[in-house]
DNA sequence: TCAAATTGATAAGTGCACGTATCAATTCAG
DNA sequence: CTGAATTGATACGTGCACTTATCAATTTGA
């Protein structure tokens, strides 16, 4: 068992833990919005009129994945998608009123989940971890 | 854009980066074995005769996922699966000779990839990161 | 001892995550 | 100005990752 203490394995375990905490907290609060969907909502809220490729670039996903994520957000009534008249290839995205309201209610829960994710670390360790993580991630 | 600097998002980006480095290195070397498949091979090599549930527990996956991973390893001829006569529910797993040989050739490449994954960190930062990651992951 | 609980495996379904390919729309270069 | 390259979106395929459900085999406990 050499794999267990490799960086890649630890990072995967962290990601697994992070996802489980996120899902548990948001479900408890009555939401059915995955972390990718939340990130997409956040990007669209901050950049109304952005297109799908823009969202993908902002939150570091590939376009096919984001296309399907947006599909789910549209079918949940949280996002509206329209053809951009200036560039007819692009789909202009905006939060619906329900999307705005849902995001506002979800945000504090997601924030709280972040503390829980690093709940095994002391406050100064959390800061150190976040700084190291930021450095380790390649620029783009 | 509040999500970008949240712990969950940083961890996801790290995981994405880690997977990309692993995949690039192993593909370059001519292998088609994912990181989960490698972890499973490692667990089976270290514990010949282990069953699927044992592998899942060791490397922290759910049983259905590991079942499919083992399927792929069996169809690649790297693992053999037999019914355990002592407990006929269980499938006893072992590396085939090809599995042994493949693992031996793959191991140094995977090890090298671990350094590359944390390539943006200085040596002492890597140690610190690994220690914080270990602490952050829940006990079991 | 035998019904109940547990355990190992698998099936079915959802949702990423990414590579590759394709198509349409736009931009750019000669 | 027009053919080539680029860009936005989508389709398709693979491989996780997990939940829930089901079934069979085993263990257990009254």
pLDDT per position as a tens digit, B62-104? 999 999 999 999 999 999 999 999 899 999 999 999 999 999 9
The integer distance in angstroms from the CA atom of A139 to the C1' atom of C29 is: 31
The C-alpha atoms of residue A121 and residue A56 are separated, in whole angstroms, by 31
pLDDT per position as a tens digit, B113-125? 999 999 999 999 9
- What pLDDT, on the 0 to 100 scale, is given for residue B139? 79
The C-alpha atoms of residue B33 and residue B76 are separated, in whole angstroms, by 10
B104 vs A: CB within 8 A:
no
B127 vs A: CB within 8 A:
no
The integer distance in angstroms from the CA atom of A69 to the C1' atom of C30 is: 41
The C-alpha atoms of residue B84 and residue B61 are separated, in whole angstroms, by 22
- What pLDDT, on the 0 to 100 scale, is given for residue A139? 79
**pLDDT of A27 above 70:** yes
**pLDDT of A121 above 80:** yes
A103 CB closer than 7 A to any strand D atom? no
**Which single residue has its CA nearest the C1' atom of nucleotide C27?**
A87
- What pLDDT, on the 0 to 100 scale, is given for residue B31? 95
A74 vs B: CB within 8 A:
no
Give chain A's mean pLDDT. Answer: 95
Q: Do you know the residue count of chain A? A: 140
**pLDDT of B36 above 70:** yes
- What pLDDT, on the 0 to 100 scale, is given for residue A2? 84
- What pLDDT, on the 0 to 100 scale, is given for residue B140? 63
Q: Are B81 and B92 in contact (CB under 8 A)?
A: yes
Q: How far is CA B61 from CA A83, A103, B37, B66, B110, in A?
A: 42, 31, 12, 7, 20
A87 CB closer than 7 A to any strand C atom? yes
pLDDT per position as a tens digit, B5-26? 999 999 999 999 999 999 999 9
B135 vs A: CB within 8 A:
yes
The integer distance in angstroms from the CA atom of B122 to the C1' atom of D22 is: 51
pLDDT band at residue A140 using 50, 70 and 90 as cut-offs: low
Domains of chain B with bracketed CATH: 3-136 (1.10.10.10)
Q: Do you know the residue count of chain B? A: 140
Mean pLDDT of B40-58: 95
A60–B13 C-beta distance less than 8 A: yes
The C-alpha atoms of residue A106 and residue A38 are separated, in whole angstroms, by 9
DSSP H or E run through B60:
none
Return the percentage of chain A with pLDDT > 90, whole number: 94
């Amino acid at each position: 068992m050499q794999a267990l203490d490799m960086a890649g394995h630890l990072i995967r375990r962290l990601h697994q833990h992070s996802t489980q905490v996120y899902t548990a907290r948001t479900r408890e609060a009555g939401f059915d919005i995955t972390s990718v969907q939340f990130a997409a909502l956040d990007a669209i809220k901050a950049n109304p009129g952005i297109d799908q490729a823009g969202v993908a670039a902002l939150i570091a996903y590939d376009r096919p994945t984001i296309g399907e994520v947006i599909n789910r957000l549209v079918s949940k009534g949280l996002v509206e998608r329209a053809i951009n008249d200036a560039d007819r290839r692009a789909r202009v995205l905006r939060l619906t009123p329900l999307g705005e309201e849902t995001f506002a209610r979800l945000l504090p829960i997601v924030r709280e989940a972040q503390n829980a994710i690093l709940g095994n670390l002391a406050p100064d360790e959390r800061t150190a971890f976040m700084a190291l993580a930021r450095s380790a991630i390649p620029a783009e």
